[in-house]
């Protein structure tokens, strides 16, 4: 027997391939590789270091940008929600962090803060997402105020974010966002950026100057009913563990906490060394597939902190130590996410610190 705990194998070659897919789809645009939230769980520094072809990187938090700089990443880094306080603004300028400005509070701070080096600004416009960004009626005034600031590189850039580009039957919503953004920015900014992965894949007319692919870099599609391989993407993370027990199980016996699953037949139950302590979702219901020895096997019983159980079937020949793929190569994270009732973004991003990341 040779069992192992949970390991996430990260294929950096796949990430590089996926960035190239994005670049081929948008040949006129530069690529801002989105590596926020530890590169969606894949390890921000390792991913960024593997992408010399990325023109820029984007993160959501100042600390994430600092980590990349400290690790030797040289490309400009866009702070997607800008700076959260004046100290971050002062440091952004010296570290070549591009700042997004989405709120008047940020504009006021910028106006009051002299900087040792001028800063690149991306004005975030609310074209319909209604989460962050300036409303259309504010935009004119924001551009005018920024144009007066010597600490800002002129002219500024503009960006917006799609709310529903991942929904094929909501194209009109995204088209309205594109039209709104174009009308507000045409002839008034240096560069524009609209597209998340869904935009890159489905809205070529909006590729503009910069694309911001995130999830697709990791081989996952934003479209709920498809998977990355449908677009020539390769899964970057293969989340694995192994069987630590194979048990004879009688018809009518329950498995695990609360006895929520009862076997309808005599069978063999496999116990996998993975649980919510590793980031495998506790909400994964019975029937969620895992891949063992090349076949899909359904979860049976509740996922606990350290273990999950599967119904291997009465004829199973699987042994202690056999590898289990929870998602990744051979079992799309999108498929698992559909069973769990979430999106694959969440599966890969909420890995805990326990499984180590193994780079290949
Ligand atoms: C996270 C994020 C992206 C990347 O989105 P994906 O759907 O992962 O491609 C792009 N732009 C902004 C503003 C984001 O916050």
Domains and CATH numbers, the chain: 12-221 (3.20.20.10), 237-359 (2.40.37.10)
Q: Which long-range contacts (CB under 8 A, 24 or more apart) does 78-86 make?
A: 78/32, 78/122, 80/34, 80/36, 81/132, 82/106, 82/124, 83/109, 85/109, 86/113
Encode pLDDT of 117-173 as tens digits.
Answer: 999 999 999 999 999 999 999 999 999 999 999 999 999 999 999 999 999 999 999
Across the range 180-184, mean pLDDT stands at 98
Return the H-helix or E-strand segment holding 164. none
pLDDT band at 48 (very low <50, low <70, confident <90, very high): very high
What is the distance in A from the centroid of ligand 1 to the CA of 287? 31
161: number of Cβ within 10 Å: 24
pLDDT band at 66 (very low <50, low <70, confident <90, very high): very high
What is the distance in A from the centroid of ligand 1 to the CA of 162? 9
Instruction: Say whether pTM exceeds 0.95.
Output: yes
Q: 197 in ligand 1 pocket by Cβ < 6 Å?
A: yes
Please tell me the predicted confidence (pLDDT) of residue 357: 94
Across the range 99-115, mean pLDDT stands at 98
**pLDDT, the chain, mean:** 97
Encode pLDDT of 312-341 as tens digits.
Answer: 999 999 999 999 999 999 999 999 999 999
Q: 196 in ligand 1 pocket by Cβ < 6 Å?
A: yes
Q: 34 in ligand 1 pocket by Cβ < 6 Å?
A: yes
Verify cis geometry, omega within 30 degrees of 0, for the bond prior to 155.
Answer: yes
Percent pLDDT > 90 in the chain is 98
310: number of Cβ within 10 Å: 27
pLDDT band at 175 (very low <50, low <70, confident <90, very high): very high
- Determine whether the annotation assigns residue 131 to a binding site: yes
In this structure, the residue with its CA closest to atom 6 of ligand 1 is: 214
| Residue 345 CA, closest ligand 1 atom number | 8
Q: 219 in ligand 1 pocket by Cβ < 6 Å?
A: no
In terms of DSSP H, where are the helices of the chain?
12-25, 36-41, 44-49, 62-70, 86-94, 104-112, 136-147, 171-185, 197-202, 333-340, 344-349
Estimate to the nearest angstrom the gap between the alpha carbon of 12 and the chain centroid: 15
Task: Please say whether the beta carbons of 34 and 199 come within 8 A.
Answer: no
Please tell me the predicted confidence (pLDDT) of residue 224: 85
Q: 124 in ligand 1 pocket by Cβ < 6 Å?
A: no
Residue 57 in this model has a pLDDT that exceeds 90: yes
| Residue 193 CA, closest ligand 1 atom number | 11
- Determine whether the annotation assigns residue 61 to a binding site: no
For strands 121-124 and 157-159, give the pairing.
parallel
Across the range 224-247, mean pLDDT stands at 97
pLDDT band at 1 (very low <50, low <70, confident <90, very high): confident
Closest by CA position to 96, among listed 56, 127, 61:
56
């Amino acid at each position: 027997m040779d069992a192992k705990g949970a390991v996430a194998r990260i294929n950096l070659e796949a990430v590089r391939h996926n960035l190239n897919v994005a670049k081929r789809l948008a040949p006129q645009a530069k690529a801002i590789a989105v590596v926020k939230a530890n590169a969606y769980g894949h390890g921000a520094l390792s991913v960024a270091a593997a992408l010399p072809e990325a023109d820029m990187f984007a993160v959501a938090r100042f600390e994430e940008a600092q980590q990349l700089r400290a690790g030797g990443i040289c490309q400009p880094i866009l702070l997607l929600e800008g700076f959260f306080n004046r100290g971050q603004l002062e440091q952004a300028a010296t570290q070549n962090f591009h700042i997004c400005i989405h709120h008047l509070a940020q504009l006021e701070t910028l106006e009051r803060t002299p900087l040792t080096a001028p800063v690149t600004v991306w004005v975030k416009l609310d074209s319909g997402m209604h989460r962050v960004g300036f409303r259309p009626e504010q935009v004119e005034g924001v551009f005018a105020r920024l144009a007066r600031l010597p600490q800002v590189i002129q002219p500024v850039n503009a960006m917006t974010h799609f709310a529903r580009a991942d929904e094929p039957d909501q194209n009109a919503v995204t088209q309205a966002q594109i039209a709104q953004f174009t009308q507000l920015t045409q002839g008034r900014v240096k560069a524009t950026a609209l597209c998340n992965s869904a935009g890159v894949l489905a809205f070529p007319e909006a590729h503009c100057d910069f694309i911001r692919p995130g999830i697709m870099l990791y081989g996952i599609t934003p479209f709920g009913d498809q998977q990355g391989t449908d677009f020539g993407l390769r899964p970057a993370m293969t989340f694995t563990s192994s069987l630590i027990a194979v048990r004879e199980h009688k018809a009518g016996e329950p498995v695990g906490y609360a006895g929520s699953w009862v076997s309808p037949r005599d069978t063999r139950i496999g116990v996998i060394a993975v649980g919510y302590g590793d980031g495998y979702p506790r909400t994964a219901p019975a029937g969620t597939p895992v891949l063992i020895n090349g076949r899909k096997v359904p979860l049976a019983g509740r996922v606990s902190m350290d273990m999950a159980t599967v119904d291997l079937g009465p004829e199973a020949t699987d042994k202690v130590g056999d590898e289990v793929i929870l998602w990744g190569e051979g079992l799309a994270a999108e498929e698992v996410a559909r069973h769990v009732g979430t999106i694959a973004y969440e599966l890969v991003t909420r890995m805990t610190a326990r499984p180590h990341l193994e780079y290949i």
